[in-house]
Amino acid sequence: MAANGCDDMERFMKSPVEPFIEISSTQGVTARFLPLGATLTSLFVKDRDSNPVDVVLGFDDVKGWDS
């Protein structure tokens, strides 16, 4: 299996399924995952001024995870 949790990234990229799954809390925390391998791609939390900040290092789109 590939390190990013997907054996066939080309097939995954062409999949009709939404490439990211997003969950949110009522406190303003939002997490985005790639469905295969449950790869956490972003985690938005509020900073001291209540602005959402992504605290996960990663890529801006699903193509970046194909490396």
Q: What's the pLDDT tens digit per position in 33-53?
A: 887 778 888 899 999 999 999
Angstrom CA distances, 39 to 7, 21, 43, 65, stand at 14, 10, 11, 9
Note whether 17 and 33 are within 8 A (CB): no
60 within domain boundaries: yes
- The domain in which residue 18 lies consists of 9-65
Query: For the chain, how many structural domains are there in total?
Result: 1
Query: Mean pLDDT score of the chain, rounded to an integer?
Result: 78
3 within domain boundaries: no
40 within domain boundaries: yes
Note whether 65 and 54 are within 8 A (CB): no
Banded model confidence at residue 65, pLDDT cuts 50, 70, 90? low
38 within domain boundaries: yes
39 within domain boundaries: yes
18 within domain boundaries: yes
13 within domain boundaries: yes
Note whether 50 and 37 are within 8 A (CB): no
22 within domain boundaries: yes
